[in-house]
Amino acid sequence: MTRKELQHLYWRAGFGMDHKKANTYAKNRKSVVDALITDSNTVTPLDIDLSYLDGIDPIDLRNHPSLAREITQKGRKKVRELNPIWVQRLIDPKELLRERMTLFWANHFVCRDQNPKHALHYNNSLRSFALGDFRAFVKAISKEAAMLKYLNGKQNRKRKPNENFARELMELFTLGEGHYTEKDIKESARAFTGYNHNFSGEFVFRERQHDDGSKVFLGSIGRYDGDDIIDIILEKKQCARFISEKVYRYFVNPIPNKTHISAMTDVFYKDYNIEDLMRFVFMSDWFYAEENIGSKIKAPVEFLVGIANTVPVKFERKKDILVIQRLLGQILLDPPNVAGWKGDKAWIDANTIMSRLKIPSLLLNNALISLKEYGDFNDKFKNQYFKRSKDKLPFKTLPNWDAFLENFKSIETENLSEIIIQGNINRGTADYLKTLSKASKRDYCVQLMSLPEYQMC
């Protein structure tokens, strides 16, 4: 594999490549992909301190409203704490591909929960199934406490079925619009009646609330429960096609290629093994085609994590990680709706592009502006973020430039653009880069990260 191909693979399967180790990577594509997958065979769950819940039971909360309010407030704070813990995991993952896949699935099986125990369990379930059996994955998601609350599964009872989960299961999670009828939604909702959970978040099947009558679903008839419905859905090749296209748009190119997606579908439909699907993608020649390199607009979290992977940076205030996400339009654990973030061009507007171009300077260069040619744009940005803080820096960070210089020791400064920027640099930018001083590898890095081209991967 060429260095360009390696960089492309590690930007899509992760968030950039450790270039100090670049020369140690095997040049054989199969060896690289095998190592990437093998390194993600294990699962390291996220963890937060939930000891404040020890000894608390539902009766306590019902009988003591003030305690219930206190627990709720603490819970919301803990969910906010979980966000930077997750971001830090993405910056320093033990299982790189598994963590990237967890991020992908979080915007597929979209869910939001203010109970930290349930939110944490849901996030770790995504992590656990991220490279496994999609069939088992969907069934597990249907029984998660967070999902049962988010899509009203707890309100889905025999005498009054709630259709929210049944609808989104087909529309967003498995088939896509146009591949089921309203009748299918109503019948499948009946199959999921009786799904509930206990105070700890463990799945509970309320048999008396379950409709065990005969259902007609996608042309089949039987006394189905929720697992049966999922099995019938996965019998349809459209399910494999729907997931394959979503994987292609995320990992390969936002513009779908029907031929490549069809090949992915054939692989995935065999047994719905996610690891096999990803191996097929990363081993395919078309994955490394020129039109796919640098074709994606980085999601805000990809953008932030990518910067921190290039220049290790310590956030002295964890809340700054949340501020940056809010500024750029993507706060993990707080999706806009059940469809998640649209991605691609939706990440960029007049406000977010201004923030993106200046955040590298704010995080890595004490807010000094490297690109003077942008004129008063810099002053407007500075005024926006400094006006309430009496000239204090909006973010308190400690970039580790020694680690950066050691990592990129073998890369000549003038060649740094080939590493920092993915894809093509337009002629105007290329001419501009020639005018910049290459005396400082550190300054040049910040300048490169402040270019529009850095928004792509």
- Pair (63, 95) in one structural domain: yes
Same domain, 52 and 106: yes
Q: Which residue has the tokens 């909006």?
A: 394
Q: Is 116 inside a domain boundary? A: yes
Look at residue 225 in the predicted model and tell me its pLDDT.
98
- Residue 97 within any structural domain of the chain: yes
Predicted pLDDT of residue 371: 40
Q: Do 59 and 19 have their domain in common?
A: no
Burial bucket for residue 160 (CB in 10 Å: 0-12, 13-18, 19+): exposed
Query: Based on the domain organization, do 288 and 404 belong to the same domain?
Result: no
Instruction: Round to whole Å and give the CA distance between 363 and 307.
Output: 9
Q: Give me the amino acid identity at 22.
A: A
> How many domains would you assign to the chain?
3
Say yes or no: 420 and 321 in one domain.
yes
Asked if the structure places residue 311 within a domain, the reply is yes
Do residues 329 and 260 both lie within one domain? no
> Comparing C-alpha atoms, which of 308, 319, 310 is closest to residue 396?
319
* C-alpha distance from residue 217 to each of 232, 237, 272 (Å): 8, 16, 21
Question: Average pLDDT for residues 150-162, to the nearest whole number?
Answer: 97
160 lies in a domain? no
pLDDT in tens, 261-287: 999 999 999 999 999 999 999 999 999
* DSSP sequence for 348-398: --HHHHHHHHHHHHHHHSTT----GGGTTHHHHHHHHHHTTTTT--SS-EE
| Count of all residues that appear for the chain in the document | 457
How much is the pTM?
A: 0.94
In the numeric block, which tokens belong to residue 220? Answer: 């089949």
DSSP 8-state assignment for residue 452: G
Q: Identify whether residues 307 and 255 lie together within a single domain.
A: no
The whole-number pLDDT of residue 26 equals: 60
Strand-pair category, 195-197 with 313-315 = unpaired
Say whether pLDDT at 210 is over 70: yes
Q: Which of 83, 101, 131 is the last residue of a domain?
A: 131
Pair 304, 391 in one domain: yes
Domain annotation covers residue 150: no
Name the domain boundary from 113, 131, 149.
131
Average pLDDT for 204-213: 98
Report which residue type is found at 7.
Q
**Residue found by looking up tokens 């810099």 in the block:** 378
User: 177 versus 376: which is more confidently predicted?
Assistant: 177
Q: Give the start-end residues of each E strand in 63-212.
A: 195-197, 203-205
Please state the rounded mean pLDDT for residues 288-305. Answer: 98
Predicted confidence at residue 378, as pLDDT, reads 42
Pairing of the two strands 195-197 and 203-205:
antiparallel
Of 94-98, 228-232, 371-375, least confident by mean pLDDT is: 371-375
Q: Is residue 57 in some structural domain?
A: yes
331 is a domain residue? yes
Q: Is 277 within a domain?
A: yes
Mean predicted lDDT score pLDDT of the chain: 92
Say yes or no to pLDDT of 433 above 80. yes
Same domain? 13 vs 49? no
Q: Given CA atoms 293, 295, 298, 302 in this order, what sign does their dihedral have?
A: negative
Identity of the amino acid at 297:
I
Return the pLDDT at 268: 99
Asked if residue 359 and residue 258 are part of one domain, the reply reads: no
The predicted model gives 17-22 an average pLDDT of 72
Look at residues 100, 131, 162 and tell me which one is the last residue of a structural domain: 131
Indicate if 282 and 407 belong to the same structural domain. Answer: no
In terms of domains, do 76 and 54 share one? yes
* pLDDT tens sequence across 178-189: 999 999 999 999
C-alpha to C-alpha distances, 301 to 59, 68, 446, nearest whole angstrom: 40, 33, 18
From 390, 396, 444, 389, select the one nearest 420 (Cα to Cα): 444
What is the arithmetic mean of pLDDT over 138-167? 98
- Per the structure, the complete domain to which residue 101 belongs is given by 39-131
Q: What is the distance between the alpha carbons of residues 411 and 433, in angstroms, rounded to a whole number?
A: 17
119 has a pLDDT exceeding 90: yes
Q: How far is CA 410 from CA 5, 405, 414, in A?
A: 18, 9, 12
pLDDT in tens, 346-405: 999 998 999 999 999 999 986 544 443 333 334 454 455 545 444 556 789 999 999 999
